[in-house]
Structure 1
C-alpha cells in the first residue's frame, strides 16, 4: 500500500538497559502520597508554568542545592545541579538534579527530591542507591586509549564513518554496580541504516574495559496518514510566508533536500500560504511532507500543554524544529538532543514520508524523556524510553481526533514498512509483530529497545482498556494476560496522566521495569490515592505483564 496525502491547506492563525531499579527512598520522612482530597488528581496534576515561573523555581532550587545535598545525606565531595522542577497544582514540587563528585559529572547519579506544599522534604527518588566513593581520581589509561576503545565499540555495532565526535571526558560511572572513575566518549558517524550516530561509550579509566554504551539518536516510526485539510500557524516575512508557528514557541520546519548533514536545512516558504498538494511526491522540494511534520508538531505541542500542563519539550515555552526530506529513501525518523529537533525520512522510493501525528508525538516525546527522566537508551531503561514515546505518541493521535485517521493502539499501520499492510507494533499483544515481547523476563534487557518496549506498551493498553476482546474506533483487539487474570481498564486519559506523572516525578535514568512499576504506583497514589481503583488497576496491569 502506498500512502497518499489528502490536500493540505495552511493558513495563518489569528496573529497567528538492564540496570538498577529506581527506588523511592524516604529520608526518614514520609514518602510521597496523595493526601485526602475530594479530587486527588486536581492537587497532584502538574501546573502549566510560564517560562519565568519555571526559571524562578530552578534558581531557587539551585540556591538551596548545598543545603538539600546535606539534608538528603550526600557526601562532602558531592554537589547537586538542578535539571528541572515540576510543580503540582497543590504546590508540591519535584526537583530533578544531576550530581557531581569532586567536580566530575556522575552518570547515573541523578535523583528527584519531592517536597510538600510547605517545602518539607517528603522523599527522594534515586537512580542508584550505591554510596559514591572513588578512592583514586587519577586515570590509568589515556584519553586517546579511551577514544580508540569507543570507536571500536561503534564499529562493532555496524556503524560507518565512525570517529570521536566529542573528546573523552572524565566522569564517575554510577549507573551499574560499584561507582568507578571512567571516560565518556561520544562517537559520531552513521548507523548501519543511515541514521546519524551519537554513540556514548563509557570506558573504565583504570582498566580500559567498556562499561556501558547507549545511542543518543533515538529513532522511531509511526503512521503516515491522511490528515486532511488542516490549519496551522505560519508567519509572514515581507511578501512570503514561512512554516514558523509563532504561537507555539516558534516551531519551524526545514527542508533537508536529501542531505544528511547536521545543518537545519532551508526554511520552507510560500507565496500564498497554501501548502502542499495532499499527495506524496518523490520531489525533494515537496511541501506535503512538511505540512504533515508541521501539523504533527502543532498537535503534539497542544496535547502536552492542554492535557499534561507542559509548555514545550523543555517546559520552557521554546519549540524544537522539524527537518523533512532527510537522506535518500531513508526509512525512519529520529529525535536528536544535539540539534533539539525532529528529522523525517521520505521512506521507500522517497514517496512514503514518515511524517504523521504519532511520529511527531513519538519523536517529540523522546525529547521530553531526555529532559525529564533521561532514561538510558539501552537495556530495560531503553525499552521504557521507546515505550514512553509509543504511549504518548498514541495519546497524541487520540487527542487530535482527526476523522481521517482515528486513534488506535497500532504503531505504524499506515506506512507499510513490512510490505504486507501490517503495523510495526501492537500495543494489545506486542508479540504479534514477531519480535516484541508481551511480558517481562530476566532476558528482556538484551532485546532491542524497540521490542523490549513491548511489556510497557502492553501494560498501558491493559491499564487503559482492559484485557480480552473488544473493538475500539473500528479496530479489533484481544489482549491476553501473563497470569490469566482479567484486567479492567481505567480509561486512556487516566492511564496517560499516570504514565506522564511517573516519567516526570518518579523515574530516573536507570529505571528498569521493576522501577517503572514503583514509579507508576507512586504516580497513581499521588493522583488518585493509595488503594484507589486506579492504584489497584496499575498493580493488576503490571502483574498481568509479569512485573510484580
Structure 2
C-alpha cells in the first residue's frame, strides 16, 4: 500500500513505497532526532515535506537551547522530496499519462553525496514493464539529471482478448522441463504508446541448463513478444599472519567465517555450501585442503573472492554490500557442469571441463556476484532490446570480476589482475572465455552495431567490456587496446573507471541500452569529478571508440 503525495490540480500524483508491516498510517513530519531509511518512509505531500524541512531547519532540537546548531537534514530525505516535486511538476519529462500512478521505490546514496531516486509506474492499475526511471540529485536535493527510457506517454486499450490460461500454456511451452510457473500477470509494456501482455515466470530446465524464464505473451494476439532469463551463467551452455584456510587459486588465506560453519558473520548473507543449499560445517574454522577437486576448498576460494568483492564495493565504489543495502547472497559449489551461474537468489559454481579445477576463480565469482549487483540496481536485469541488455549484464559481471582482481592485486604466482575472464579456470580447455581489451581475439565483437541485440549475450558483452578497458587504461595502455574508429583514448585509471561505471548502473532503467549507458556514464563523470573535464572527455572518447556515438540530450563536458 502507498500513500499519495498531494500535488496541484492537473499534475501527476506521486506515491512512495510504504512499510510492508503494520496498518497504513497518516503521513506526519519525520521525527527529528531519528534516522529512518528513506526506502521505508511513508510518503508525504510536496508542500508538507517543504514545511517539515523548514521546521527541522528552524526549530531547536528537543532539550536544546535556541542557539544550538540544528540537525543537518538527511540527504536522502531532501533527494526524495525534490525528486517527487520534479516528477509531479514535469509530466512531459517523465512521460506521465493521466492513468499513470508513479511510485517511489527508494533512494540510493553513492559517491560525492549523489542520491539516486528510483520510481516505477502503473497504468490503469496495471504494472508497467519499462516505465521505471531514476532522478539523480546532489546532497542538497538539487536535481542534476534524469534517466528515463520510456519514449511516449502510454495510451492503450487495457482489455485482454487472450485468456490467462492460454497465456500460461504458451509460456510453459517455452521450457522443456517445467518445475513451476507463476500465474500470468496482465502487464503494460512501455513500447511506443503501450502493449498489453501477460507476464509468466516459468522455472525449470531447458537444454540441460537451469532456467527462470520470464515470458511475455501479447494479450491481443497470443504471440510471445519477449522473453528473458533470470539465470545468468558464466559461459554459453556447453595473507594475514593468522591465515589458515587453504584455497586452490590464492594459496593460504584467512576467510571470515563463523566458528564451525562457512558463513560470514561480518557480511550478511554471504555463505557457501553444496548443491542442497546447506552451508558447509566443520569442527573448527580451518577450511580446505588446497585441492582442485575438493568442494570445501572451492568454498574457500568463493568466500575469499566474495569478501574481496564486498570490500572493493565499499572502499572503491561506495556501495554497501552486493545488494546495495548491506546484504549478500549464498554460494553453492559442486555443480556438475563446466559452468557457473546466478539464478536471481544465489550463485552456483561447477568445474572445468577436464574436472581438475572448480569454477571458483576470483573473476568468475566476481562475475556471478556482478549479476546480483546488476539485478539489485535500479532497472533490474529484465527488459531491453533483444539481447542488448543481457549483453550489458554479462559485461557488468566481467567488469566487477576485473575490479575485484585489481583490488586484491595478487602476485604473478597466484591470480594477478588482468582484463581476461576465466583464464585461471580454463573452463573448456581453451584458456580465457572472454578478452575485454580485444574481444575479437576470442570471436566477440569489439564494436557496437545494430546486430548486438541479436548477438548471443556473452558475445554481446564485447563492446562495453572494450569501452571499460579503454576508459581505464587508454588505447595505448597495458594491454594495448584497439579502437573501432582509429582514435586515441586517454585512460583515467581503473578506480575512476569503476566509480563511473557504478554510478551509471545507479541510473539504469528497464529499457537499458548502450546509448543509455553512454548518457548515464557521461552524467556520472561530470557529477563525480565536477572540477575536471578530463574524466568526462575520456568517457565520451571511449564510447565513440566502440562505435556508440553522442546521444541527444547528452551534456557537454
Take 2:454 and 2:249, find their aligned partners in 1: how far apart are those partners?
A: 37
SS at match of 1:188: strand
- Higher Cα Rg, which structure: 2
Which ranges of structure 2 fall in alignment gaps of 5 or more residues?
1-33, 46-79, 237-246, 550-557
Report deviation, 1:67. Answer: 5.6
SS at match of 1:244: coil
What's the counterpart of residue 376 of structure 1?
382
What's the counterpart of residue 244 of structure 1?
263
What's the counterpart of residue 201 of structure 1?
215
Report deviation, 1:530. Answer: 8.1
Report deviation, 1:375. Answer: 3.9
Size of the aligned set, in residue pairs, is: 460
Take 1:71 and 1:168, find their aligned partners in 2: how far apart are those partners?
A: 35
Give the structure, 1 or 2, with the largest relative contact order (CA under 8 Å, sep 6 or more): 1
Report deviation, 1:531. Answer: 6.8
Take 2:42 and 2:114, find their aligned partners in 1: how far apart are those partners?
A: 13
Is the Cα contact below 8 Å between 1:463 and 1:490 reproduced in 2?
A: yes
| Structure with the largest fraction of strand | 1
Is the Cα contact below 8 Å between 2:352 and 2:426 reproduced in 1?
A: no
Report deviation, 1:212. Answer: 1.0
Take 2:374 and 2:354, find their aligned partners in 1: how far apart are those partners?
A: 32
Report deviation, 1:122. Answer: 4.0
Take 1:90 and 1:398, find their aligned partners in 2: how far apart are those partners?
A: 23
Q: CA RMSD in A?
A: 2.3
Give yes or no for the alignment of 1:81 onto 2:99.
Answer: no
Listed one character per residue, the Cα deviations across residues 129-185 of structure 1 (whole Å, up to 9, x for unaligned) are 210222x32211011111122233x24xxxx313652121111111x3331111001
Is the Cα contact below 8 Å between 2:354 and 2:429 reproduced in 1?
A: no
Is the Cα contact below 8 Å between 1:379 and 1:447 reproduced in 2?
A: yes
Q: How does 1:210-225 map to 2 (within 5 A)?
A: 210-220=224-234
Take 2:42 and 2:251, find their aligned partners in 1: how far apart are those partners?
A: 46
Give yes or no for the alignment of 1:111 onto 2:130.
Answer: no
Report deviation, 1:342. Answer: 1.1
What's the counterpart of residue 124 of structure 1?
146
Q: How does 1:20-169 map to 2 (within 5 A)?
A: 56-60=37-41, 62-63=43-44, 69-73=87-91, 74-88=96-110, 91-134=113-156, 136-152=157-173, 154-155=174-175, 160-162=176-178, 165-169=181-185
What's the counterpart of residue 528 of structure 2?
527
What's the counterpart of residue 186 of structure 2?
170
Take 1:394 and 1:487, find their aligned partners in 2: how far apart are those partners?
A: 20
1:220–1:82 CA distance, 2 compared to 1 (3 A): farther
**2:340 pairs with 327, 333, 349, which one?**
333
What's the counterpart of residue 301 of structure 2?
292
What's the counterpart of residue 362 of structure 1?
367
What's the counterpart of residue 492 of structure 2?
490
What's the counterpart of residue 417 of structure 2?
407
Report deviation, 1:350. Answer: 4.1
Take 2:284 and 2:362, find their aligned partners in 1: how far apart are those partners?
A: 25
1:535–1:90 CA distance, 2 compared to 1 (3 A): closer
SS at match of 1:114: strand
Report deviation, 1:320. Answer: 1.1
Listed one character per residue, the Cα deviations across residues 255-306 of structure 1 (whole Å, up to 9, x for unaligned) are 11xxxxxxx522211113221110112x6xx311111111111111111112
SS at match of 2:182: strand
Is the Cα contact below 8 Å between 2:272 and 2:331 reproduced in 1?
A: yes
Bigger drift between 367-376 and 492-501 goes to 367-376
Give yes or no for the alignment of 1:280 onto 2:292.
Answer: yes
Is the Cα contact below 8 Å between 2:161 and 2:221 reproduced in 1?
A: yes
What's the counterpart of residue 314 of structure 1?
323
1:438–1:349 CA distance, 2 compared to 1 (3 A): closer
Listed one character per residue, the Cα deviations across residues 364-397 of structure 1 (whole Å, up to 9, x for unaligned) are 1111111113243642111111111111110011
Take 1:438 and 1:82, find their aligned partners in 2: how far apart are those partners?
A: 38
Bigger drift between 455-464 and 524-533 goes to 524-533
TM-score, with structure 1 as normaliser? 0.79
TM-score, with structure 2 as normaliser? 0.78
Give yes or no for the alignment of 1:455 onto 2:468.
Answer: no
